[in-house]
Amino acid sequence: MELKEYQIKTADQIKRYLELLVEWKKRADKNTDLEIDFPAKAWEKAEIGRHYRSHKNGIGLPLPYFCLKIPTGGGKTLMAVKAIDLINAIYLRKRTGLVLWVVPTTQIYRQTIQNLKNREHPYRQYLDIASGGRTMILEKTDRFAPDDIRENLTVLMLMLPSASRQNKETLKMFKDSGGFQEFFPDEDNIEANQKLLKQIPNLDAYGKETGFWGRQIKTSLGNTLRLLNPIIILDEGHKAYSETAQNTLKGFNPSLILELSATPPEESNKLVDIRGQELNHEEMIKLDLHIFNKASTDWKDTLLETVSRRNMLEERANDFEANTNIYIRPISLIQVERTGKDQRVSGFIHSEDAREYLIKTAGIPPEQIAVKTSEKDELKAVDDIGGLLSKNCQIRYIITKSALQEGWDCPFAYTLTILTNPSSKNAITQLIGRILRQPNARKTKIKELDESYVFCFRQKAADLLKDIKNGFEQEGLGDLAARITADEDADDIVQSGKEKTIAIREKFKKAAKQVILPVFVIDKDKESWAVNYERDIASRIDWNKINIDPIYSLTLSIVEEKDMEHIVSLKGKNKDELIEQKEVKHLKDGGLRIDLVFLTRHLLDIVPNPWVAYEIGERAMAKLIKQNGENPVINNFVFVIEELKKILSAEKDRLAEDIFKSMRDSGELKFLVIGNDFSFTFPNKIKARQSERPLYKSDGQMLQKSLFEFMPEDDFNETEKAVAWYLEDQDRLFFWYRNAARRDYAIQGWKKQKVYPDFIFTKSENDKNSRFESVFIIETKGLHLKNEDTDYKKSLFDLCNKMADRKRLGELELALKEKSVRFEVVFEDEWKRKLNEMMS
């Protein structure tokens, strides 16, 4: 599963913070008297731009605790399994150990554990790659031994209530158990018990220190978790901010807590904050959302409308499958007022009323209908045939009251039908997110299959829109609330989501047609085409030219004390007489060999040919073993892999840059305007929602120099707003345009990801603003975003400037003749100075 652009950005941010954690933890360990809060220091150095709230674990040590804020449908679970790999490889320097995965609801629990246990699912495949195929998925009733933790990446699933010490029914998690004795000293080994309690004072224990036997450690699951310093994955983390939940989670003495949430609270440490617009650009969600509010007082009319719409969607899906072999079976979610066995009374719409109408009146086969309630779960049987996405599944209608509110996930769900009484309080706010996920995370290019639908009747327009917008907020999609569209046939509803079309300002139309921006082009054998990274660059890399010598300069650490098991026992009956202490070494990565296949899997992200990747890994390991001996290399295997990946990634970029510039020097690569097929021209029109708020100038006045009169405010971050306002006040500015990522002008350089600049603006020949003489393409960056990616963009833009001379641009296009084109990366601490230079 290839990561989306925002997911790559998320992984990079996690990686950078973890690298800083390692650096600052080393400082803290060397200067224990200073009591350095290393997670906070790493956060400060990472320049996240948000305040860090410090945390401590159950024994008072600094605890790294951060959140990935990703909206519903954005792949939070995928990023969690990716993060586990990064945490183990970079921060903990191992590939095995315990992960405690905590979820708030039964639905999320079932869905997550089903996916993690399925070896064909991408989540499990990521974990298997991270562990070298040694992954265990456990539940709290399962028993495990020290060898299981040492030799496997062990994921233990827990429900949030089960993690709470205040839940009486689950207190047995902290009671003595017969399954975990191997983790603890023998009961009669008083000295070992006291030593362990001194080391980990928050272990539950019997007795008093002054008693004959001293304090005896309970051999419970809870205590076992405290010993193992698990990584904690906290799903729907915003539900775990009660004092009890927080104390319990931190009391497990985790090495790190990773929170996943679409709507984290203010006190959350948001390492990553992904907006709904980013999901929409990556085709992750079904928008627009259409609302049909029926005037009829009969709920059956609304349900009939649902059936008609779902049937139409299935026809489109069948056509789509015939052309692409991609299967989609549209599903309708139907919300009723009552579901209980004894609750079927007049005046309320019951699940069986809806089922009966679908079967008897609409002619729906019974096997296509499932009821999901707290008492009756007809979806459970679907798991046995591969789930709702399987071709073997017949379900097309799911009737519920509120059982699908949290955690239920099915991209085939297209319509939500609200059959609750208009005056009653319903759960539309929670249910709206269930129909937004796009099948296969890829648009079908069939309008009806790329959007979602809500059907209701006699709802108050203002309340309905408010509820749905609140639903968007609760799914982390608040910035997309304007994508709610009232269908023209809907009754009694505000048409707030309707689109409007905006044309280029009349005074800029002629000039805008003259701006045709250059792209990198392969000019070969009398043919020209825009550069394609995989075909024109990556395929030419000669892997024999890579230099992996820096890997041989690595300093390999010895095995840390925490990776050893010390076993002591009583000798005879004398409690003071100890057997000789045995020291059993267990390697951090849980393996006693170098696994070249495991290494190769990790290198495939960079080196696409498995044979080449294997050969590189084999060569690196052989020389490292020759230099250091086998055991040190084995003990640092995961660390070596991570460092080798960094070296290979840098080498790949170096070789790609050499190829790029070699093609330029030979004349094969050009930076040209070659017509509308490949080069960029401004769109003649843009679309916006009626309800979208326009960007105004800082003084509240209308924009005057934007290419389009209307620019949505949500398309700008704070730095970009400031730049736009500043441009508006420049006398020699002709017009400016906000370049949209993934849609507008892009530059394909020697790295895989295209560069989408933030602004395109033109400078007039004189103060009369009649014609323009220069075009500027700029990328804005916050100070906290200065990194290797920024250096690459600056290098790429420098190359663009060298190649964008007037002669070359005029070879195939007269429009830009005698005009200059300039590319710049500007930071928030210098952009005014830079813009002044451009305007001078």
Is 714 in the same domain as 629?
no
Is the pTM here over 0.85, yes or no? no
**Could you tell me where the beta strands, DSSP code E, fall in 218-374?**
231-234, 256-261, 270-273, 289-294, 331-335, 369-372
Nearest to 512 by CA among 685, 674, 671, 678: 685
Is 386 in the same domain as 463?
yes
Nearest to 89 by CA among 601, 786, 619, 612: 601
pLDDT at residue 563, as a whole number: 38
In the DSSP assignment, the letter for residue 92 is I
Is 751 in the same domain as 817?
yes
Residue 405 falls inside a structural domain: yes
Last-in-domain residue among 209, 241, 274: 274
CATH code for position 19: 3.40.50
49: left (phi over 0), alpha (psi -120 to 50) or beta: left
Collapsed DSSP state (helix, strand, coil) of residue 663: helix
Residues 359-376 have pLDDT tens digits of 998 899 999 999 988 778
The residue that leads in pLDDT, 488 or 480, is 480
Beta-strand pair 256-261/231-234: parallel
Is 759 in the same domain as 811?
yes
Tokens of 764: 């007039």
pLDDT at residue 773, as a whole number: 83
In the DSSP assignment, the letter for residue 338 is B
* Domains held by the chain: number: 4
Residues 108-148 have pLDDT tens digits of 888 899 899 999 899 999 999 888 889 999 998 899 999 99
Residue 191 falls inside a structural domain: no
Residues 495-544 have pLDDT tens digits of 444 678 899 999 999 888 888 888 999 988 888 889 999 999 999 999 99
Domain that includes residue 383, residue range = 278-497
What is the C-alpha separation between 332 and 313, in angstroms, rounded? 10
In this prediction, residue 401 has a pLDDT band, given cuts at 50, 70 and 90, of confident
Residue 193 falls inside a structural domain: no
Residue 285 falls inside a structural domain: yes
Nearest to 759 by CA among 730, 795, 788: 730
Residues 722-750 have pLDDT tens digits of 899 999 988 889 999 999 877 889 999 99
Is 42 in the same domain as 125?
yes
Residue 323 falls inside a structural domain: yes
**Residues facing residue 712 across a β-bridge:** 694
Is 467 in the same domain as 540?
no
Residues 324-336 have pLDDT tens digits of 999 999 999 999 9
Residue 165 falls inside a structural domain: yes
113: left (phi over 0), alpha (psi -120 to 50) or beta: alpha
Is 769 in the same domain as 825?
yes
CATH code for position 362: 3.40.50.300
What average pLDDT does the segment 92-110 reach? 90
Buried b (16+ CB within 10 A) or exposed e, 437-450: bbbebebbeeebbb
- In this predicted structure, the answer to whether residue 662 has a pLDDT above a threshold of 90 is yes
Contact assessment for residue 478 and residue 692, using Cβ atoms and an 8 Å cutoff: no
pLDDT at residue 817, as a whole number: 56
In this prediction, residue 764 has a pLDDT band, given cuts at 50, 70 and 90, of confident
- In this predicted structure, the answer to whether residue 808 has a pLDDT above a threshold of 60 is no
Is 825 in the same domain as 787?
yes
